[in-house]
Amino acid sequence: MFAVVSYHPHQQKVGSFLRYASSGDAWQKVDTAQANRLLSRHHPQYLFKSKQFDAEFHAVNMSDVVKHHRPEQRLKALLAAKPQDEIEQKLHKLITILVQFGVNCDFLGLTGSMLIGQQKKGSDIDLVVYGRQAFHQTRDAVKQAVASGLFDELDLSLMKDNFNRRGGDLNFDDFAWHESRKFNKAAIDGTKFDIGMVCLPDELEHDHHHYIKQGVSTVKAVVLDDHRAFDFPARYLIDNEMTPEVVSFTHTYVGQAIAGETIEVSGAIECDSASGQRRLVVGSTREAIGEYIKVCR
C-alpha cells in the first residue's frame, strides 16, 4: 500500500511512497530504507527517478491501482457506525469535540493505519483537513480544546515517541519546543492525534520547474513569509539572496517557524534550470537525516 505524496502526476504516474507491505494476513509498516529495499528486490517498476525534481521516490501506474483508500469516505463510514474498538471510540469523541469548537466535518478525513483498518491499541489517530482555511480553523479548535482541558498536550512519553519517529537532527528539547506551539498534535484519553493539511485545487501552485541539485548548505535567515508553512511541501520565504525559499518535504518541519523569527536551515541546494533561482530543500528522505529547520532562540 502506497501513500500518495504528490498533487501532480509524474509521467502519468501517481507520486507516492510505499508505507505498508503485505505480511501474511496483515500489513507491516515500513520505513524509507525498508521500502526502497523491498521494491528494489521485488517490484523495481515502482522505483522512480524524477527528472523534474532530481529526486528519487515511488510512482505507481494508474492501471496498477486496485483500490484507492479515500480519507473522507473512511471517516464518514466510521462515524456512521458503532465503534469496534477503543481507538474508534476515541475517534468519535475527538470529532465531537472538534465540531463543538466550530470544525466542519465535511473538510476532514482519516488517514494512517485507521484508513486501512490496521489500527492497534497503541495506534495514533491521523486526520487530514482539506483546505488551508479549514486546517487553520481546526488548529485553532485544537488549541481551544487543550486550553479547556478536553484535549491534552503531548506528555513526555508521547512526545518522546513522536521524537523517536521524527526527531531527525534536532535534539529532544529543541524538537519538543517546536512541536508544542504548532497545535497540529495533541492527545485524547492518552492517544495521540495529528492533523495534516491537504490543499484544495485552487490553493496549489502548478510547479513545472526542473530542479538540479547543487550540494548542501546551512544558512541563518529571517522568515519573511510563513503562509504556506503547513502545506506539503512546507514553504518558507527567507531573507537570503542565494536561497530565498526553503522547502520541506518531511512532516517534521511543517509549521516550524513563524514570520519574523530567525531560523537555521540545513539542506540541499536546488537550482531551477530555467530561471537560475535557488532554493534550500529539507527532506530528501522522510527521516531527513542531516537536514533540519530550527528557530534560533
Residue 205 lies inside a defined structural domain of this protein: no
Helices 172-180 + 156-166 axis angle, to 10: 110
Instruction: Print the domain residue range for 25.
Output: 2-64
- What would the mean pLDDT of 5-34 be, rounded to a whole number? 89
For the chain, how long is the longest CA-to-CA vector? 56
Output the CA–CA distances (angstroms, integers) from residue 156 to 34, 126, 180, in the order listed.
Answer: 29, 20, 11
Per-residue pLDDT tens over the stretch 86-118: 999 999 999 999 999 999 999 999 999 999 999
Instruction: Note whether residue 222 is domain-resident.
Output: yes
Q: Quick one: 44 and 83 in the same domain?
A: no
Predicted local confidence at residue 59, as pLDDT: 94
**Where is the domain boundary, 149, 166, 198?**
198
Residue 246 has pLDDT above 90, yes or no: yes
**Dist CA 275 CA 168 (whole Å):** 32
Q: Establish if 48 belongs to a structural domain.
A: yes
pLDDT of amino acid 54: 66
52 with 75, same domain: the answer is no
Is there a single domain that holds both residue 176 and residue 216?
Answer: no
Q: Who wins on pLDDT, 290 or 104?
A: 104
User: Is residue 190 one of the residues assigned to a domain?
Assistant: yes
Average pLDDT over residues 36-55: 87
CATH value at residue 123: 3.30.460
For residues 110 and 176, state if they share a domain.
Answer: yes
Quick one: 85 and 111 in the same domain? yes
Other Cβ atoms within 10 Å of 96 Cβ, number: 12
Question: Is the predicted pLDDT of residue 284 greater than 70, yes or no?
Answer: no
Q: Which residues contact 219 (CB under 8 A, 6 or more apart)?
A: 238, 240, 242, 243, 264, 265, 280
User: Total domain count for the chain?
Assistant: 3
**224/122 same-domain check:** no
143 located within any domain: yes
